[in-house]
Amino acid sequence: MTVINHIREIRKKKGISQIKMAEDLQVTRQTMNAIENNKYNPSLELALKIITYFDMPIDEIFILEEDAK
Amino acid sequence: MTVINHIREIRKKKGISQIKMAEDLQVTRQTMNAIENNKYNPSLELALKIITYFDMPIDEIFILEEDAK
DNA sequence: CACGAATGTAAAGATATCTTTACGTTCGTG
DNA sequence: CACGAACGTAAAGATATCTTTACATTCGTG
């Protein structure tokens, strides 16, 4: 099981930079960048901040997928 | 900002033991116990498994709260 | 070209999440 | 009482998340 996310698409659609989003969420730009590029998943706390920030249902942003075999 | 959860209440209402829930979710009993007792928050992946397991919306299980001052 | 803005990335270090092993308590029930 | 089932907890170790600092690339635009 792995989690994929659609943060980059949503962020771009809203015309927000990684920098601004990171500042708004009080994390570093590197953290947002790493999450968008699937270096790792956000913590639950950060994930909740992100869905609040985007004001979207969690399943439109984070998706739990079966691992490819 | 901290995350609180209602896992224990929901689990008990459904009549499931920590042991069974841990097995079903493929984590250790200690992990479920620690999360219920707020030793730490689950990872996003485990949180998504939990909402799927309970088949409930995330905001009825995990709540992002302001820190008490 | 020069520049600023946005993004990618890397490495070291701090802290959080999770496992493994182990021991203790409580409670129901034979 | 003896036993099993459920739960609490602790400590050591592995791995994941996040910060700080730093450098590099890409792209638009004066």
The enclosing H or E element of B69 equals none
In whole angstroms, D23 C1' to A38 CA is 22
Per-window interface: B 43-62 vs A, CB < 8 A: 43-45, 47-49, 52, 58, 62
> Residues B19-34: what's their mean pLDDT?
98
- pLDDT tens digit string along A9-48? 999 999 999 999 999 999 999 999 999 999 999 999 999 9
> Residues B25-36: what's their mean pLDDT?
98
CB contact B38 to A (< 8 Å): no
* pLDDT for res A67: 72
Q: Say if domain A2-65 classifies as CATH 3.40.50.261.
A: no
Task: Calculate Rg over the CA atoms of chain B.
Answer: 12
Q: Considering CB atoms only, which of A48, A62, A64 is closest to B64?
A: A48
Is the pLDDT at A69 greater than 60? The verdict is no
Phi, psi of B67 (to 5 degrees): -70, 145
- pLDDT tens digit string along B32-69? 999 999 999 999 999 999 999 999 999 999 999 987 54
* pLDDT for res B63: 98
Q: Which residues contact A7 (CB under 8 A, 6 or more apart)?
A: A32, A35, A36, A50, A61
* pLDDT for res B68: 57
Place of tokens 């950060």: A46
* pLDDT for res B66: 82
